Homo-oligomer: A and B are copies of this chain.
Amino acid sequence: MRFPSDPRERPIAVFDSGVGGLTVLHELLVRLPNEDFVYLGDTARFPYGDRGPDELRRFSLQIAEELLARGAKLLVVACNSATAAALPALRRRMLETTLGVDVLGVVGPEAVHAVTATHNGRIGLLATTATVASGAYAAAVHAADPHVDLIPVAAPDLAPMIQSGFPFDERVVEVVRGYVAPLVEAEVDTVILGCTHYPLVRPMLQRMLGRDVRIVTSGAALARQVEHALGSRGLSSPRTGEGAYSFLSTGDPEAFRMLGTRFLQLPLGEVEQVRLHAEVAA
């Protein structure tokens, strides 16, 4: 595979277990319009939530090899489970490459963003049961500011409801209302959406939380870090016009395209089905 000899012209690679990471790509496309992107959704092995850390490290390294072979200048892990399990292993592997590719993940950027956004020191977290149980957000928030309170709420039904059905539904409202209640009760002034599916119901959440509560999404927080990472390494695209973006899926490409459009809120175009061969030792 050939790619531009000027590393600044190479794409930023983003991956997730499925379509949820497209809400992260959405923010990147809007905030970094001059960059090229390649997105890989590992839909054939979705969901990652119930898999063990060894397996997730193996999957993540396979995907990283594929994206590196496509000329990635930066790797973004747009998946909570993969970030928690594989970020250090990915960083080691990618820094061994000729270009020394940086790897950025979720969790850390939202935690830093939330800590700077809160005024009353009370931050809510909405995430999957596994993410809440991992303690990753609590650790990241307290690393950024040990004096802040994090109020975590596990929302086990929310991501499947958003993904499988229609996100603007009375049933979804009732489920979301139940998850939001303890955050309102705790008087948080900032809420981290700790799952990439949740931005699709952001208007509903904002209405229930009240308009003065600041909602922090992975995409918005990560976009800033991606920009800094490119800038500090002299890797920002020299282009002034709009960049291109393309999609890879390990599962059915048409299903990916149909569902993905709702998450991206931009046209998806063609989706290429990809087989991941390279098994790499973690």
Please report A residues at the B interface, Cβ cutoff 8 Å.
26, 29-31, 33, 166, 168-170, 172-173, 203-204, 206-208, 210-211, 242, 261, 264-269
Contact = CB atoms under 8 A, between A and B. Distances in A.
Contact of A207 (B30, B168, B204, B268): B30
A240 to B, nearest CB: 10
Given A168-B261, A261-B168, A207 B29 contact: yes
List the 5 closest pairs (A to B, CB-CB), nearest first: A33-B207, A170-B267, A30-B206, A203-B265, A31-B211
Most buried by B among A173, A265, A267: A267
A208 to B, nearest CB: 7
Contacts of A172: 267
Copies of this chain present = 2
A33 B211 contact: yes
A266 B168 contact: yes
Contacts of A264: 168
Contacts of A29: 203, 207
Contact of A210 (B26, B33, B168, B261): B33
A197 to B, nearest CB: 15
A206 B166 CA distance: 26
B30 A168 contact: no
A184 to B, nearest CB: 10
A208 B168 contact: no
A230 to B, nearest CB: 15
